[in-house]
Amino acid sequence: MKKVTKRVISVVSVLLLVVSLFASSVLGSVGNSSVKAKAATTSQYRNVMYYGDWSIWGGEGQFYPKDIPAEQLTHLNFAFLDFDSNGNLKFTDKDAAVGAPVGQDGVQWGGANAGILNALQELRAKNPNMKIGISIGGWSKSGDFSAIGENATARANFVSNVMKFIKYTNMDFVDLDWEYPASVRAADLVDNKNDEGTPNAKPADKQNYITLLQDLRTALDKQGVDVKKKYELSVALPASQGMLANGVDVAKLFNVVDFANIMTYDMNGAWTPNSAHHTALYGNPADPNYNDGFSVDQTVKYLKSQGAASNKIVVGAAFYTRGWNKVEAGTSATQPGLFQAATKNNKDADLGATYGAPNEKPLATGDGGRAGGVWAYKSIDALKAKSPTLVEYWDDVAKAPYLYSKTTGEFYTYDNVRSVTAKAQYVKDNNLGGMISWMQSQDKATTSTKRDELTKAIKQGLFGAGELAANTIVYSNLNVEATVAPYSENGVGYEITIKNKEVANETNEVLQATEFAAETVKLPKFYIPVKAGETLTAGDYKAGTVATANGYTTVDLASVYDGQQIPQGATYTFRLKSNLTSVNVNNIANISLTQRMSKAGTELGKQVIFGGGAVIPDPSDTVAPTAPTNLATVAANVTDVAVPLSWTAATDNVGVAGYKVYRNGTEVATASGTSYTDTGLTASTAYSYTIKAYDAAGNASTASAALSVTTKAGSVTPPVGTGTWDSAKIYTQNDQVTYNGHAYKAKWWTQGDVPGAEQWGPWELVS
């Protein structure tokens, strides 16, 4: 955890309705985080990636979270989490999720810091540009969605359990992957022995899908207020227009979710009697199935025609091939084999005839038993070596590559750097929400252990070469306390006892494991302010590594086996020896705790567990003690007075819980982000605002930023709205209302939510 107590912010702008003024800060030197923030690229786009829990095993070359090119991503989906018909959560692979060390230094099998779910938190701490989330369901685990969708009790249990899960794992978003509503499918046990199919799908799924999403949206917003973070909700949608029309109310869905990941891959494959692209950007009229609309462009146009918001549409890229075993060459000299008839001359693992080409991995009944010509992008060179007569071609209409052999008839369709770059440009040209890719382990390594060739091409296509903007990571405090007592034995010093007062409450396997991980103190490090004239050293082996720097004595227990984890209800005691002849516990003003997921990991947060009466300055911050007042005075001809304030993030801001806003010396609000609109003010009146950062323990920074604002009376156009807010009325996205003299716009479906009541609520202040 990055240790945080004092964070300094500078007001850089104040906006009075449509009047804006930018003021520079003179708050002292800037830390590394602020330097990165200045260079960061900001955009509406998203570079979203799936990471499968099976990636850590031998079949995927033991591809661990630490090797994900996280600096290139905005969102990472952990795939998948399962559930039953009563809404209880289930692991798809418990060892992968919470058991295996996954290449982390100092992590043991089954430890509280083991598994992918913990490793992802460390990965995000090192790369705060990337949000982490859970993808629920998937192709083989969507069988129980119909049951929870139609049953209010099961649905409420499911939603409650998901909220607990993302709180314990400190995730940023939930991705619902229902494949597919209202679409009946038998389980394919040749492909996957654990496949559930969707045998209970029904027409009512279409509305129940929206109800489930709305319940998740409401719960996410409520929990977000409680934990002071903004959760996102996304979905995975099919590319097939028929599937969409059958099971998805597009307009209602896009009013609820933050974005939708369109699976514009697997649009053609071994189930098709002719060769075609499986992830083409544009439809090619030469395709005999062109009217089915199997391309990114055709799917996007359909979604927009059904009411989808462009900036919420996230289109897909495939990091793998689909292939046919024998395809006719046709008559085209420049594009042989494309859109040509295939022959069923191969067999699946059950000996059933198939058009498909052999996969990269051997066929096995119940574990990839369908021959579909599936090869990871990273293995295409190996595919070419296996079939040396394969030649790469480019379809400039579809903006898609393919491999074809005139000798063997093999045909493989996939994405490459050129095609994903074209997709990224399409996203920008059409004001879409970004791109999603399946999946990270299949990308090709470039100059490191990271598999990043396509990932980097997408990031650069969407954002350019600059660094991605960092997010503020919010950490919840544990119920941990320290007690300090003097001792006198072979000198004098302090005996410090750490008590983890958390209690295990969960019984469900998933929640029990994630609660245990969340509420165990992991690889702790303690910070103790140095008192003038006193030096502290290790008083026993249990103190681990003790050092003094930047005004702190640090106690790092990573080297002490018994101290590496302090589980729920446990205590741990160590001694610090003083150089004084007598000691007083008052010499220790406070003790703060940080944690890591691995020995070399980034510190994830900070909380004061002893004392805490004074704000602990962070040694990495160098600032003036106060900010100048009267940075700016602004006036505007308004009578409906609302003052939107904005400020830069605190320097070295990892771990800041939020910001306190003071008006004329009185605290009026807290904000988790770097903006706040103060309302209900009087015209022709001077106001003084002060902004202070605070940490998870509630400590406010000693340094602050101040700004003076003067309003004056004048004429103003009344707020625009579709009428006065009515608690009984249903509003959908972009509906406008007036309430208490202000205009608000709905961000999503809402009924009964008071405009302006909640910072992360469904209403956006317009004027």
Domains of the chain (ranges, CATH numbers): 1-35+605-712 (2.60.40.10), 43-263+309-318+416-468 (3.20.20.80), 480-557+569-591 (2.60.40), 730-765 (2.10.10.20)
The residue with greater pLDDT, 476 or 17, is 476
Cβ partners under 8 Å of residue 636, min gap 6: 16, 17, 18, 19, 711, 712, 714
Sign of the Cα torsion 48, 53, 59, 63 reads positive
Q: Note the pTM of the prediction, 2 decimals.
A: 0.77
| C-alpha span between 152 and 570 (Å, rounded) | 39
Candidates 603, 689, 688, 698; CA nearest to 658 is: 698
Pairing state between β 750-751 and 742-746: unpaired
Confidence tier at 722 by pLDDT (50, 70, 90): low
Confidence tier at 447 by pLDDT (50, 70, 90): confident
Cβ partners under 8 Å of residue 644, min gap 6: 14, 15, 16, 17, 675, 676, 677, 678
Rounded to an integer, the average pLDDT of 132-161 is 98
CB under 8 A, 24+ apart: contacts of 580-584: 580/492, 580/533, 580/534, 581/492, 582/492, 583/486, 583/492, 583/493, 583/494, 584/486
Of all residues in the chain, the percent with pLDDT exceeding 70 is 86
**Cβ 284 vs Cβ 339: under 8 Å:** yes
Question: What local confidence, expressed as pLDDT, does residue 765 receive?
Answer: 83
Side by side, the strands of the sheet bearing 705-710 are 666-671, 658-663, 686-694, 705-710
Please give the helix or strand (H or E) that residue 357 lies within, else none.
none
Token duo for residue 33 = 């985080």
Q: Which of 267-271, 419-423, 648-652 has the lowest mean pLDDT?
A: 648-652
| C-alpha span between 170 and 319 (Å, rounded) | 28
Confidence tier at 650 by pLDDT (50, 70, 90): low
**Cβ 277 vs Cβ 414: under 8 Å:** no
Cβ partners under 8 Å of residue 286, min gap 6: 338, 339, 397
Question: What local confidence, expressed as pLDDT, does residue 656 receive?
Answer: 63
Give me the count of residues in the chain. 767
- The answer, yes or no, to whether residue 229 has pLDDT greater than 60, is yes
